[in-house]
Amino acid sequence: MNTDEAGGDRQSAGEQTAVLPETASQLVELERLQLALGEAEERAKNHWGQYLRAVADLDNVRKRAQKDIEAANRYGLEKFAAELLPVRDSLELAVQNAEKADIRSLKQGQDATLQLLVKALEKIGIVTINPVGEPFDPARHEAMLAQPSNTAEPNSVLQVVQPGYEINGRLLRPARVIVAKAP
């Protein structure tokens, strides 16, 4: 052993100092702490694995959602187009038979075609806004004119100039209306 200038013993650089527990209770505590450390490391390893699986699942969900969005964009009009085909067929038939048809049959054909179109629009969620008698709503109606009225409530819709449309509760086009005002 080497001695330092104060005369004490000093260990060489290659030797390590071992700290030994002095009592049995310290030995038990050390063993308990080592066991707890092992359990904590095992839990951490399990949590890390769960985290990695959750990240992978989330990534898969994101990719699936992206594919669904792309498919909806690509094929979303398919239902709409399928609903409009009978309307086109009816119009083509009317054009082909226009020269040999009388006025009454042309009118009936137009009515039938209009009904096909209305049903097609309803099937895809397009609803007509026809607010006669309702209070004027600037979010859903466009006032074309204010007209005095003795019979209607002020600020209510007297007449619809052009109907509006909504799709699934979202406004496509506001109804153009004439609004009542006090005489």
19-51 pLDDT, tens digit each: 555 788 888 898 999 999 999 999 999 999 999
Least confident of 61-70, 93-102, 152-161: 93-102
Say if residue 81's pLDDT is above 80: yes
CA R_g for the chain:
41
Give the Cα separation of 178 and 153 in Å (integer). 13
Flag whether 178 is in a domain: yes
Give the Cα separation of 157 and 132 in Å (integer). 5
Say if residue 1's pLDDT is above 50: no
Given this model, what pLDDT does residue 16 score?
61
Judgement on whether residues 87 and 32 belong to the same structural domain of the protein: yes
The segment with the largest mean pLDDT, out of 10-14, 66-70, 137-141, is 137-141
Say if residue 14's pLDDT is above 90: no
114-163 pLDDT, tens digit each: 999 999 888 888 999 999 999 999 999 999 999 998 888 999 999 999 99
Judgement on whether residues 108 and 142 belong to the same structural domain of the protein: no
Neighbours of 37 (CB within 10 A): 10
Given this model, what pLDDT does residue 20 score?
56
Domain boundary among 98, 124, 150: 124
Judgement on whether residues 32 and 103 belong to the same structural domain of the protein: yes
Say if residue 71's pLDDT is above 50: yes
Flag whether 7 is in a domain: no
Which structural domain, as residue segments, surrounds residue 134?
Answer: 125-183
Judgement on whether residues 101 and 56 belong to the same structural domain of the protein: yes
Flag whether 3 is in a domain: no
> How many domains is the chain built from?
2
pLDDT band of 60, cuts 50, 70, 90? very high
Supply the mean pLDDT for the chain. Answer: 86
Domain boundary among 124, 141, 168: 124
Judgement on whether residues 113 and 183 belong to the same structural domain of the protein: no
User: At 137, which CATH number?
Assistant: 2.30.22.10
Q: What percent of the chain lies above the pLDDT cut of 70?
A: 88
Neighbours of 174 (CB within 10 A): 20
User: At 66, which CATH number?
Assistant: 3.90.20.20
Judgement on whether residues 116 and 129 belong to the same structural domain of the protein: no
Indicate the SS3 state at residue 142: strand
Judgement on whether residues 35 and 73 belong to the same structural domain of the protein: yes
Judgement on whether residues 117 and 36 belong to the same structural domain of the protein: yes
